[in-house]
Structure 1
């Protein structure tokens, strides 16, 4: 999975770095550590924006008890019924189906 530093995310979104940190704290983005640096999966971003539907999907999964690692795993695990991964479906404007699945995934 390709990742982007928080500084690069801020630059791409046209936000100050503090706003990117706030998006993570607010649960609109999920970050991970790579080599002691916080990074965001490249797939979470489109041109100048966060992928439509991603923040709501993250919230649904968190509400169902998913950890950040489990959220990342779920978003990037292939699902033959979509087809592809949930993040691919969100990027392809199939967010409604992804959200339905996230709501049904109560732990």
Structure 2
């Protein structure tokens, strides 16, 4: 079985994100804690999907979506993976739809997880 995180085309480290965003690494870590960015350990290193940085800014729909997922009872890792898991009702991955600007459809789907 393949790992859904293989869907991520490019990963960047916290220092790389800091350089890309022109922010100190401490702010990047705070943005991860506040869900403005998401990160997961890959081979022991905290990595961020590069695609969630759009026009040198964190994807604006991400924090609210992560909060809905966490409030629905998912763990952080499960929520992260859910964003990259294909869903026929979209059809595609929730992350693909967030990147296309369809946050309402993704959040409606995420809210169903709590039921």
TM-score scaled to structure 2, two decimals? 0.84
Q: Residue 60 of structure 1 corresponds to which residue in structure 2?
A: 68
Segment of structure 1 superposing worse, 27-36 or 7-16:
27-36
Q: Residue 88 of structure 1 corresponds to which residue in structure 2?
A: 96
3-state SS, counterpart of residue 29 of structure 1: coil
Is there any run of 5+ residues in structure 1 with no aligned partner, and where?
none
- Structure 1 residue 17 and structure 2 residue 21: aligned? no
- Structure 1 residue 5 and structure 2 residue 22: aligned? no
Segment of structure 1 superposing worse, 1-10 or 82-91:
1-10
Q: Post-superposition shift, 1:25?
A: 1.7
Aligned residues: 107
TM-score scaled to structure 1, two decimals? 0.90
